[in-house]
Amino acid sequence: MTSVTLSVHISLAALAMFVLKAWRSTAFALYGYLNFTKAGFLEHSKRFKPEDMEAKIPGKNCIITGANSGIGYATAEGLAQRGATVYLVCRNKERGEAALSKIQSTTGNQNVHLEVCDLSSVSEIKSLASRFSKKDVPVHMLKAAPDARVITVSSGGMYASPLTTDLMYSESNFKGVEQYSRNKRVQVALTEKWAEKYMNKGIGFYSMHPGWAETPGVARSLPSFNEKLKGKLRTSEEGADTVIWLALQAKDKLVPGAFYFDRAEAPKHLKFAAATGSHALIDSIISSLNSMASLSA
């Protein structure tokens, strides 16, 4: 192959990748605008069954991360209203204490507790796990216990990215939104794998995405997006609706490893986005994650 021919092949490959990325972004934006906004929630909610949310879960222990604001807070409040014992995992002690006090006051449920942990720190996560194991209580939502479930809050943003083993974003021109999208794709693929691995352990694994909600995190991280769609975004409660729904449903009504949106199983890939086959990389990614966290397989 001549250098000219090689150059043409490289140029065509680069062009194909550019077109594919442009398609993913465009398809995601259109699909998202039609489905992920408040209007999408109101349309989808026409099929919701009110009785699905009427269950009470006293005696169930639930760990909620990022629980001091936004969707995490709305989830914690919703589960506390239904009688669960809720553990708020928050990075900031003061904001966590304020959230705890407010949830106890609004729900009348005093079985709400705070665990301070920075989830960006592996050592703090291990410390939290150690502290919690000493409580000697079963965890029904997030960790292992009989008839437990793990609900991962992902993002529709993952539709714009296939799975990649480049977990640390080695490209020189770092793009935060793209890395976020990649990480959310990893969450969905991990959920699939965990559901398969632990299917006989009594633990249900599910992922979901909340749509586009107006939360402090979105306002801080995506200010222009937040401003452009002001008035069209979902509330935190609407974003948390499917998390709470997944927590309340009988397991035989749910699909292990599935991805949910607005109380229904949702596709994990957009058509023609060439992302489906990428999930075969998950074993390699798990190996890398275990190494980073100094965990055994």
pLDDT of residue 276: 85
pLDDT of residue 18: 82
Using an 8 Å Cβ cutoff, are 166 and 218 in contact? no
In CATH, the number for domain 23-57+140-292 is: 3.40.50
The answer to whether residue 5 scores a pLDDT higher than 60 is no
The answer to whether residue 297 scores a pLDDT higher than 70 is no
Catalytic residues: 180
Per residue in 95-124, pLDDT (tens digit) is: 999 999 999 999 999 999 999 999 999 899
Q: Nearest-5° angle of CA 28, CA 34, CA 40?
A: 125
Averaged over 16-41, what is the pLDDT?
91
pLDDT of residue 288: 94
End-to-end CA distance of the chain: 44
pLDDT of residue 8: 47
Per residue in 209-247, pLDDT (tens digit) is: 999 999 999 999 999 999 999 999 999 999 999 999 999
The answer to whether residue 296 scores a pLDDT higher than 90 is no
Could you tell me where the beta strands, DSSP code E, fall in the chain? Answer: 61-65, 85-90, 112-116, 148-153, 203-208, 259-261, 264-265
Averaged over 188-212, what is the pLDDT?
95
